[in-house]
Amino acid sequence: MRKNLATIVLMASALLIVLLLIFHLRQTSKEKVLSQFNENQLLSVQRVARPIERYLGSRSQDLRWLAFIASQQADDRDRIAVAIRSNFNRLKMTSVQEVSLLNEKGTVVYSTTAGAKGKNHSQADFFSWARNPGNRGAVRMWYEKTEGPRRPVTAGSPVPPRIEIFLATPLYRESNAGDHQQPGGKFAGALMFMIDLEQVIAERSPSLTPETKFHKLWIMERSGTLLVHSGHPEMVMRDIRKRDQTCNECHTSFDYIETILGKAEGTIEYQIRGKPKKVAAFTSMSFEKISWVIVMNSPLDEVTAFESKNFRNTLFLLGAVVFLLGLGFVITYSNYRQKLASEMEVTRLRETQAMLEALRESEEKYRTLFESSRDAIMILVPPSWRITAANPATVEMFEAGDESTFTTLGSAAFSPEFQPDGRPSSGKAAEIIQTAMTNGSHFFDWTHRRLGGEPFPATVLLTRMEIGGQALLQVTVHDVTKQKQADKQLQDTLESLRKAVGTTIQVIASTVEARDPYTAGHQIRSAALARTIATEIGLSQDKIDGIWMAGSIHDIGKISIPAEILSKPTKLSDIEFALIKEHARKGYEMLKDVESPLPLAEIVYQHHELMDGSGYPRNLKGEEILIEARILTVADVVEAMASDRPYRPGLGIDAALNEIEKNRGIFYDVAAADACLRLFREKGYKLEGIEYKQ
């Protein structure tokens, strides 16, 4: 009973899921069809708007060209008429219905339409516009509704009124001076094209069929003036926003009109009382200073009816597929039950055979790697962790003679009693093995011993493995004796280079101080103090070394300064002090091409810069100054104030420290100043060769 109930619940759940899926498919299909339809409608209305826009631009160019010809012959109207007639045959093929020439008084003096000659347009807005010199070369468009017999678009539909478009441009009589025309000229009238809007739309909108050319198309000015609408001919050339009682009887809302006029392009649904919903696709079209909105509408029920029919067909096909699948399932299920047992047995046998083959291939690959490896590889077996296998590289590395000798002696014979850290090899090895078994692997440094008793350094990788359900350890040993020897040789070479550089620095420092006996030892004492401050702050060893080297020769630029200025016992003149201030730049010039990973030249260049930008020679400030130079500045000031100078005796260490404390954070780096004060006042640092008063 419970089994039957569970089956019913399962079937009901499956049916509910199918119904929900069908509903989802219906909604998705409907949304997709509507979205695609809206996109297509928008493309269609764009295909109507763009050709009209290009057409008006082309006729504007034609009008300007014909006006240019007329302006050259403004004194000979017969020649102008000949030029108009010669171009009119071509213009008629582009829907230009009439070309008229107006004189300076607004009277039509020539027209391709006989009845238009003699009409006066002097009071028209366009003619007042044309007389404005600022509009010379411009084109103005306007349109008029004309009456007359017109053919209905469809049987029984109202006859749409005829909308004529007019394009006009001013004419100016060019003045001649010698052989050259002069710009400017006198107003000579206007040239005007008349265009049939219906013909333009019909010839340049191939997406509209003859039956729907005006049935589904509106054209409005952005201001709201309706230019084309076959359903409401009485509204043509009226503001669509100015509605009467009949409009309210048909429309429930005019929001869609405001949306169309307010946006550049898009689609919107709307409905008229008693009629199905429609979808309006609209886009903008601009010409000169006029903006139109082109609208195409289509009944929404045509789209939804197509979608519903399509969905019913899909649903029918889905039902047929489900029925056939169910029938096929019932037929095949009985055969499946019969074949299942035999297929499972065949599969098991094949999997067993494939597993054995993969194991054999894996063993062959491992054996190849094991035998050909240049590193020593051993297999340790618990619980005693005895060696059960060793590759040829192991025998060679440990000088064991052969594999059996190695496995017989055991791993303990190939390690010294104690490791370099003083711990017994046996106890340390037990801990490392436990770590590798827990974590799966462990990499470490180890000191091994060859069979002859010679110890050698190595790196060891322990890897946990399982073979046949048993946990093992693979030991990979890499002899790093040559690497260690190379590292030691490199360190020895670097130490020799460091000593050579130090000696060179000392020679340079001695050369500088030989020219200034009053400051003998100044550079070395400043460098020593700067190095101690850098150590106190916690800078890296590379920066500390750079401070020491740069500090030892930071006054190297004084070589270029006359000795009599350096040792002058009286106050320096402005020129002499300016020469002294040049020593930082001179030092930089001497050191800038020295190959060094340390910024020695820049430290020397900046050692007289101050944090507030008042230093020299570049008025750097704050973080623009290297930390090494900021530290050297503090050390240089302390040593200089505490030591004797040619023009004064030493001021003492207390005065120097007071200077640092007073201008901490103004002239001097806060961290460097604090470290300097701490060294002298708390840690008893002393400058070598300076007498301290009690």
Same domain, 513 and 447: no
Q: Is the pLDDT of residue 692 over 60?
A: no
Render the burial of 151-183: b for 16+ CB within 10 Å, e for the rest.
eebeeeeeebbbbbbbbbbbbbbbeeeeeeeee
Q: Which domain holds residue 469?
A: 373-479
**263 located within any domain:** yes
Closest to 172 (Cα-Cα) out of 158, 156, 183: 183
Task: Between 334 and 180, name the one with better pLDDT.
Answer: 334
Task: Tell me: pLDDT of 216 over 80.
Answer: no
CATH number for the domain spanning 405: value is 3.30.450.20
463 with 537, same domain: the answer is no
Residues 465 and 516 reside in one and the same domain: no
Q: What is the pTM of this model?
A: 0.41
pLDDT digits (tens, 9 = 90+) for 453-487: 888 898 889 888 887 678 888 889 888 888 887 87
- In the listed set 274, 302, 330, which residue is the last one of a domain according to the structure? 302
Please say which residue of 246, 278, 302 terminates a domain: 302
643-666: per-residue pLDDT in tens? 877 777 888 899 999 999 999 999
> What span, in angstroms and rounded, lies between the C-alpha atoms of 76 and 569?
103
Task: Assess whether pLDDT exceeds 70 at residue 356.
Answer: no
In this model, does residue 64 exceed pLDDT 80? Answer: yes
Confirm whether 65 is domain-assigned.
yes
Q: Please indicate, yes or no, if residue 20 is contained in any of the structural domains.
A: no
| Beta-bridge partners for 191 | 101, 169
Give yes or no: residues 418 and 560 share one domain. Answer: no
- Phi-psi label, residue 692: left if phi above 0, alpha if psi -120 to 50, beta otherwise: beta
Tell me the pLDDT band of 676, cut-offs 50, 70 and 90: very high
Burial label for 80, CB within 10 Å (0-12, 13-18, 19+), is: buried
Arithmetic mean of pLDDT, 76-98: 84
Domain containing 544 — which CATH number? 1.10.3210.10
Q: Is residue 18 part of a domain?
A: no
* Tens digit of each residue's pLDDT (9 = 90 or more) over 433-444: 889 888 989 898
Does 518 map to a domain?
Answer: yes
In a domain, 331, yes or no: no
Contact 666, 682 (CB under 8 A): no
Total number of domains in the chain = 3
Q: Which of 373, 375, 391, 387 is nearest to 476 (CA)?
A: 375
Pair 610, 469 in one domain: no
- Checking if the pLDDT of 167 tops 70, the result is yes
Nearest by Cα to 108 from 138, 84, 90? 84
Between these two residues, 391 and 207, which has the higher pLDDT value? 391
Asked which of 454, 479, 504 is the last residue of a domain, the reply is 479
Answer yes or no: is 237 within a domain.
yes
Assess whether 656 and 546 both reside in one domain.
yes
Tell me what pLDDT residue 560 has.
81
For the segment 24-45, what is each residue's pLDDT rounded down to a tens digit? 665 666 677 777 878 888 888 8
pLDDT of 492 strictly over 80? no
Residues 165, 97: Cα–Cα separation, whole Å: 10
Cα-flanking dihedrals φ and ψ of residue 527, to 5°?
-65, -40
Region 368-395: mean pLDDT is 80
Report the pLDDT value the prediction gives residue 503, as an integer from 0 to 100. Answer: 64
| 481: Cβ contacts below 8 Å, ≥ 6 apart | 456, 457
Question: Do 588 and 674 belong together in one domain?
Answer: yes
For the stretch 392-424, pLDDT in tens is 888 888 877 777 777 777 777 778 888 888 899
Q: What's the chain's average pLDDT? A: 79
Is the domain of 112 the same as that of 67?
A: yes
Which residues, 6+ apart, have CB-to-CB distance to 138 below 8 Å?
169, 170, 288
Predicted pLDDT at 153:
39
State whether 610 and 671 are in the same domain: yes
**pLDDT band for position 6 (50/70/90)?**
low
Other CB atoms closer than 10 Å to residue 675's CB: what's the count?
20
Residue 296: Cβ-neighbour burial (10 angstroms; 0-12, 13-18, 19+): buried
477 Rama sector, left if φ>0, alpha if ψ -120 to 50, beta otherwise: beta
For the segment 493-546, what is each residue's pLDDT rounded down to a tens digit? Answer: 666 656 656 666 666 666 666 666 655 588 888 999 999 999 999 999 989 999
80 has pLDDT over 70: yes
Domain co-membership, 470 together with 509: no
Bigger pLDDT: 317 or 614? Answer: 614
Question: 464 and 510 share a domain?
Answer: no
Residue 179 has what pLDDT?
Answer: 41
Please count the other Cβ atoms lying within 10 Å of the Cβ belonging to residue 36. Answer: 11
**Shared domain check, 171 and 60:** yes
